[in-house]
Amino acid sequence: MTKRWMRTIDGQKPISLINIPGTHNSATRYIPFRYLCRCQDKSITEQLVLGVRYLDLRIELYKGGLKLVHSVIDCRPGPLSFKKLWLEDIVEECACFVRENPSETVIMNFQTDDGKDLTGTSDVLYEKYILKGPGLWFTENRIPFLDECRGKLIFARRTPPPGKLMLEDRISGINFFESRSEEKNQRLIRSLESGDVLFKAFIQDDYFVPPKKKWFDFVLPCLDEQRASETSILINHLSANNGFNSPKITARYVNKRFLRYELKKGEMYGIICADYITRQISEKIINSNE
């Protein structure tokens, strides 16, 4: 059952050793300029019910709150709505889900697309959303064991640490910000307190490429050669959008190839992020766990 699939996973496993379905630009079900900007055709709750446990959320500071965006385009809460989609609505959906399904956890990875006022965005994210949910969030800058975060949301970010926050690893969230190393796609996740490397992440997110190149040059080598470990998070994006080929056109090609690819049970493929996630893709990833 995809809604509660984590209940069968050993709670002493680090989350890096669990193969997890994820979505890219998770909040874009309703968005203008759909050809270029839409990456999902399901709501956040529908994605969670399908088994998705990693959400990629693009946020932008607006009038003291955080709205969901894809690049410069605002996400919407409904098909006929001209309103903005606010982060509190997404957090509440995810909070309701883990309250109703306490065996589960959801990694929520926040980043900005506009590059403006990054520290101010982080301040609002932390003060308005993380601090106001005591007991809801796993906030440490490390790879947790599953039992530590069941019934919780995992705070991860590709934004700077809040400027008003004492730099403490226990409350900063998983720190993907400014973590690139000399090796392509590898990130060194450092302690905010000491600067020491705590663990590594390999993130394949090359996106400005045509569908065939995306699969053969980026996704497939990652599936064949890269593996997660107790000290290394692996995120493999199936998504791409080079302007000529929309996210949907790319997804048709890459997702079909992925469904034909044999995932070996017990191999550590990590987090696999898709555009236009389907039940078949989600179940394939879930079923590769031992």
127-149 pLDDT, tens digit each: 999 988 889 999 999 999 999 99
pLDDT digits (tens, 9 = 90+) for 174-233: 998 877 777 889 999 999 889 899 999 999 999 999 999 999 999 999 999 999 999 999
Closest CA to 64 of 110, 134, 120: 120
For residue 1, name the pLDDT band (cuts at 50, 70, 90): confident
Answer whether residue 243 shows pLDDT above 90: no
Answer whether residue 93 shows pLDDT above 80: yes
Answer whether residue 165 shows pLDDT above 70: no
Q: What's the CA gap between 173 and 170, in Å, rounded?
A: 8
Looking at the chain, the whole-number percentage of residues with pLDDT higher than 90 is 81
CATH architecture of the region 14-286? Alpha-Beta Barrel (3.20)
Where is 282: in which H helix or E strand? helix 279-286
Task: Tokens for 261, please give them.
Answer: 């690819």
Q: For the whole model, what pTM was predicted?
A: 0.96
Across the chain, mean pLDDT equals: 94
